[in-house]
Structure formats: C-alpha cells, structure tokens
A and B are shown apart, each in its own frame.
Chain A
C-alpha cells in the first residue's frame, strides 16, 4: 500500500511570502503529525491532528498553522516567511488511538531567500 506522500518535495520562497505544504497519510491512518528539521535544532514537533482535530501543538509561533481534512489529508501553512524557516518539513502518519507507530513521508525541503 502507498506510503505517506508529501508535496511538493522542494520549494523556494522569498521572505514575507506564505507557503502551504501537503501531506497524504497512509490509507486508514487517522493521525498526522508535522516536524521541522534544521541542523541546529534537530527534529522539532510542530503539531498533531487526529480526526480533523488538533490534539497537540509544539512551541512554534502563530505563523505556523495546520489543518486536517475529513479524508485525513493534512496541510500546514507558514505565513510571513523568515529566513530561519528554511528547513526540512516532515509529516508522519499513524493509525492513532492505541496504535502510535509513526511512518514518515519523504519531506518537503523549504528554502527561504
């Protein structure tokens, strides 16, 4: 069965712009989590959605937001981009509820210039 799909794979944006990243989880998975990876900070949790509800949010400014649709697909949005937002953004899906094993997508590499 298909894995976690993230689009786009690469993105270059200018400071001040906004960006939307997409994640399609494994079929049947209802939980989607987002992580930011940078060389300095490592892998940091952004937020988690389960059945269209945000269950958990990391320590990121309000410029970072997300949502989940009824088909479990998720999007995250970053507004007013800053140079420091350049990172690899990873999405993970899990069945949720009592089964928490996470499976990751290939990531979206965002470069802000």
Chain B
C-alpha cells in the first residue's frame, strides 16, 4: 500500500533552535504537501512541493523525488511553531485523495 512515514514523531526544542523534519514515501508522487495543524485543528498549508526546494521565511522544504523523501526545515524556532506537522502525498494521479503521515509533534519552549 501507499506509505508515508514521518520522523521524528516528537521533537522538543528551545526557542531559537533549528530543526529538520523528514517524510519518506513510496512510489512517485504528483502532489506532496506539508501542513501545520494549529491548536484549533485547521491544517495550514506550508508547502506544495512534489520536487525541488522552496523557502518561505524561516521555513524551507526540499523534496528529492528520485529518492522518495522530503525534508522540512524550521530555523530559529519560535513558540508559535509548536503543533503537529503533517506530510501528505497523493496516489501519483490527478485524484484528490491525500495519504497522510502520522505527523511530528513539535514543542518549542521559551
């Protein structure tokens, strides 16, 4: 079946530290996204990144499609970065279904 594995499952950091979250996936993808789930449950789009590298402020992401992994980098962590980060991929087609990993629970202490 389609697998999405995220690591680490939990990450605890001091404010100002940098972190790397990893997402491994099987097979080729048409769509790979990173989300941050806020305390109210909404999934906030971070990156749409089936391949290549993107940056948005303190966050950046890289997907190496040929090696089936994606990385999310968070630099100079802030307490507001706390929450669950999800990686999700599609089936490699235009169908809208996403397969989610179990997430990384990030806690940033002041």
Whether B100 pairs with A56 at a CB distance below 8 angstroms is no
Whether A98 pairs with B94 at a CB distance below 8 angstroms is yes
A58 to B1, CA, bound (A): 14
Whether B94 pairs with A97 at a CB distance below 8 angstroms is yes
Q: Mark A75-113, 1 if CB is under 8 A from B, else 0.
A: 000000000000010101010111011111111010000
Whether B86 pairs with A56 at a CB distance below 8 angstroms is no
Task: Determine the chain B residues whose CB is within 8 A of the CB of A94 once the complex forms.
Answer: 96
Q: Mark A32-54, 1 if CB is under 8 A from B, else 0.
A: 11010100001101001010000
Distance between A71 CB and nearest chain B CB, rounded to angstroms: 18
- The dominant DSSP class at the B interface is loop
Q: Is residue B30 within 8 Å, beta carbon to beta carbon, of the partner chain?
A: yes
Chain B count of residues within 8 A CB distance of the other chain: 23
Q: Is residue B79 within 8 Å, beta carbon to beta carbon, of the partner chain?
A: no
Whether A50 pairs with B96 at a CB distance below 8 angstroms is yes
Whether B33 pairs with A48 at a CB distance below 8 angstroms is no
Chain A count of residues within 8 A CB distance of the other chain: 29
Q: Is residue A63 within 8 Å, beta carbon to beta carbon, of the partner chain?
A: no
Whether A105 pairs with B96 at a CB distance below 8 angstroms is no
Q: Mark B64-85, 1 if CB is under 8 A from A, else 0.
A: 0000000000000000000000
A11 to B96, CA, bound (A): 27
Whether A88 pairs with B41 at a CB distance below 8 angstroms is yes
Q: Is residue A31 within 8 Å, beta carbon to beta carbon, of the partner chain?
A: yes
A59 to B43, CA, bound (A): 22
Chain B residues within 8 Å of A, Cβ to Cβ: 30-31, 33, 35, 40-45, 48, 86, 88, 90, 94-100, 102-103
Chain A residues within 8 Å of B, Cβ to Cβ: 31-33, 35, 37, 42-43, 45, 48, 50, 55-56, 58, 88, 90, 92, 94, 96-98, 100-107, 109
Can you name 13 A-B pairs with beta carbons within 8 Å?
A33-B96, A35-B100, A48-B96, A55-B96, A92-B96, A100-B90, A100-B96, A101-B33, A102-B98, A104-B42, A104-B44, A104-B45, A105-B42
